Amino acid sequence: MSTCREAVEEAFKDEDGVLTTNDVISRVYAKHLDRPWKKNTISQHLVGLSVNHPSSRHHPSLRQDAFLFSLGNGRYRKWNPEQDGTWRLTGTGVELIDEGEDAMVTEEESEFEEASLTASISLERDLERSLLADLGQLEPGLKLYEKEGAIGHQLDTGVVGRLDILAVDSEGRYVVIELKAGEASERVCGQILRYMGWVKRELAGGKPVRGIVVASDFDERVEYAAEAMPDVALKRYEVHFRYSDV
């Protein structure tokens, strides 16, 4: 019988993207129908098998076989030493070798980052719900993609990750919409281009594909990149608070 560690490794075997804790649990349970491990056990294995997770120090037997990189908020991908560096344990957390104290992450800092990520994701989901209720507020004529039972909300490509929203405009063109809570960094450029490339290859059937990045603000480098991406538009959102008596 496989161990839980082996089951987690199997879940990432042919995966080059990011998986959430729930994604991994679903894959493990699909492979092992008797569900021999509790969800919390699988979750703890993900922590212990992540080279940069501060709490991996509590799982020394797992950490020696670490092959994952934690992105925070229960999201993991395979560890790439060339891209992610080499991490080691400290008395209170982990640190990036060759980068010294500037790259040290303690468990307290990790918990703060987790809380910040949770708030950011909550805002992103609120933004997503608002747009799904009426895509026309982003651009007149936009409608959510729907075909043969598939819908363009959190569409799992299986190769380049999940699309936030896939829509179709009034002229029948496919529109990839990427949402960012807060300021969008330059990484969003490669992200949306990958999504657009996948839609063009797998769904569009020769129809044009364009993209829209929605964020509260944009890194200046994103604005420069957009100049060279005529099929990608940048849209700023604004948050308005309303108050009422309790």
**Residues 76 and 151 reside in one and the same domain:** no
Residue 124 lies in a domain: no
Whole-angstrom distance, CA of residue 244 vs CA of residue 231:
42
CA distances, 56 to each of 26, 77, 145, 212 (Å): 22, 15, 41, 38
Same domain? 9 vs 106: yes
Cα dihedral 7, 162, 118, 186 sign: positive
Are 105 and 142 found together in one domain? Answer: no
Residue 12 lies in a domain: yes
* 115, part of any domain: no
Residue 120: per-residue pLDDT: 45
Q: What is the pLDDT of residue 110?
A: 52
CATH number of the domain at 51, please.
1.10.10
Residue 15 domain-assigned? yes
Q: Give me the count of residues in the chain.
A: 246
The answer to whether position 242 is within a domain reads no
Q: For residue 167, list its beta bridge partners.
A: 144, 175
Query: What local confidence, expressed as pLDDT, does residue 203 receive?
Result: 92
Residue 63 covered by a domain: yes
The domain that holds 161 is classified in CATH as: 3.40.1350.10
- My answer on whether 179 and 212 are in the same domain is yes
CB neighbourhood size of 147 (10 A): 10
Helices (H) and strands (E) in the chain, counts: 8, 16
pLDDT on residue 123? 61
One domain, residues 171 and 208: yes
d(CA 124, CA 86) in angstroms, rounded, equals 31
Count structural domains, the chain: 2
* CA distance linking residue 94 with residue 236, whole number of Å: 36
- Quick one: pLDDT at residue 125? 74
Shared domain check, 179 and 98: no
For the chain (246 residues), the mean pLDDT of every run of 10, in chain order, is 91 92 94 93 94 88 93 90 86 69 52 46 71 89 87 85 91 93 86 94 92 91 92 86 71
Q: Flag whether 177 is in a domain.
A: yes
In a domain, 53, yes or no: yes
Residue 24: enclosing H or E segment and its boundaries?
A: helix 21-31
- Residue 101: its pLDDT value, please? 43
62, 96: one domain: yes
- Residue 45, both tokens: 């294995």
β-pairing, 217-218 with 183-184? Answer: parallel
Task: Supply the range of the domain harboring residue 65.
Answer: 4-110
Cα→Cα distances 160→17, 36, 213, Å: 6, 30, 17
Whether 166 and 175 have beta carbons less than 8 Å apart is answered as: yes
- Angle between helix 220-227 and helix 187-202 axes, rounded to 10 deg: 40
